[in-house]
Amino acid sequence: MASDGVPRKVGVVGYGRLGQSLVSHLLTQGPELGLELVFVWNRDPGRMAGSVPPSLQLQNLAALRERHPDLVVEVAHPQIIQKSGAQILRYANLLVGSPSALADQATEQRLLEASRRWDHAVFVARGALWGTEDITRLDAAGGLQSLRVTMATHPDGFRLEGPLAAVLSTGHRTVLYEGPVRGLCPFAPRNSNTMAAAALAAPSLGFDRVVGVLVADLSLTDRHVVDVELSGPPGPTGRSFAVHTHRENPAEPGAVTGSATVTAFWRSLLGCCQLPSRPGIHLC
Ligand SMILES: NC(=O)c1ccc[n+]([C@@H]2O[C@H](COP(=O)([O-])OP(=O)(O)OC[C@H]3O[C@@H](n4cnc5c(N)ncnc54)[C@H](O)[C@@H]3O)[C@@H](O)[C@H]2O)c1
């Protein structure tokens, strides 16, 4: 709810697994939380038929200003952020659900410029990244030396492009990519969002020094597994501070989003509605 008691107007871009869940939450719980759903846009409008009230269906994304949103939530594809993110910021704060788009430096720059110019915030959903605040704090204190995010699931859960699409899973567990997150995002745009969120949480390392590892594992038919490993510089005894989290998230076979991540997105939406509209990129 806005501080003046006026409901915040929220638009949703994308009506897949995440979009449907957020729209359902907004329709059922939004009014009591001071949130009003003002539009839903999907590339294929037919998908909204029967579940999104016709008056809320937006046929043309370029017409979103007519709905006067305070916040636009992107849960579609990084391409939407790359093509339309800066334009959306002209009219509203933006909650980015596909932060792999920001691995493209020109896109990140365009969003930052639009954010400053129109005085709107770019919020980034932490999604499946566990420990986001801790990573950010450690980074800000100069205590982060390395950060590595490994995402493993069944090969059916991947939507890979370019050279990665041609990599064959040869065994039970195959490492498809290991290297800077920036190099992975263009080829796994829908499976690198957690790593992209880590790169944004740790700006001292960023997309070029946070390491992403993508693993195809035939045994992981029903879950997504994310390991976050980080270390600080060696202390006086020569030992380093180190953290390793291991997150197992149940997921429908073949889905790009696990069930706990759907809940995390709703919390991110609620969370960013409580934050001030400050220019810049903010994880939530
Ligand atoms: N930050 C994270 O940790 C995290 C976690 C899960 C998913 N995501 C991302 O959130 C987004 C939505 O996830 P989902 O599980 O709802 O996916 P989904 O496949 O269920 O739905 C995606 C929706 O976007 C539409 N779409 C697909 N490609 C598009 C394009 N190029 N342009 C416009 N629309 C397009 C589809 O028609 C569909 O309605 C994806 O980009 C996904 O990678 C991020």
Domain extent listing, the chain: 8-128+261-283, 132-257
> Which one of 190, 252, 268 would you pick to mutate in the ligand 1 pocket, going by the greatest count of ligand atoms within 8 A of its CB?
190
Rounded distance from Cα 240 to ligand 1 centre (Å): 38
Q: Examine the pLDDT at 178 and tell me if it is beyond 80.
A: yes
Other CB atoms closer than 10 Å to residue 243's CB: what's the count? 14
Whether 41 lines ligand 1, by a CB cut-off of 6 Å, is no
Whether 18 lines ligand 1, by a CB cut-off of 6 Å, is yes
Nearest to 232 by CA among 263, 202, 254: 202
Q: How confident is the model at residue 206 (pLDDT cuts 50, 70, 90)?
A: very high
Whether 127 lines ligand 1, by a CB cut-off of 6 Å, is yes
Rounded distance from Cα 256 to ligand 1 centre (Å): 8
Mean pLDDT of 214-243: 94
Whether 261 lines ligand 1, by a CB cut-off of 6 Å, is yes
Per the model's pLDDT, the better-predicted residue between 242 and 255 turns out to be 242
Looking at residue 3, its pLDDT comes to: 52
Query: Mutual orientation of helices 17-33 and 259-274 as an angle, nearest 10°?
Result: 40
Whether 157 lines ligand 1, by a CB cut-off of 6 Å, is no
Q: Examine the pLDDT at 1 and tell me if it is beyond 50.
A: no
Burial call 203-221: b when 16+ CB within 10 Å, e when fewer: eebbbebbbbbbbbbeebe
Looking at residue 254, its pLDDT comes to: 78
The domain 8-128+261-283: what is its CATH number? 3.40.50.720
Overall fold of domain 132-257: Dihydrodipicolinate Reductase; domain 2 (3.30.360)
Question: What's at 83, amino acid-wise?
Answer: K
Q: Examine the pLDDT at 4 and tell me if it is beyond 70.
A: no
- Nearest residue (by CA) to ligand 1, atom 42, is 190
Nearest to 94 by CA among 102, 85, 103: 85
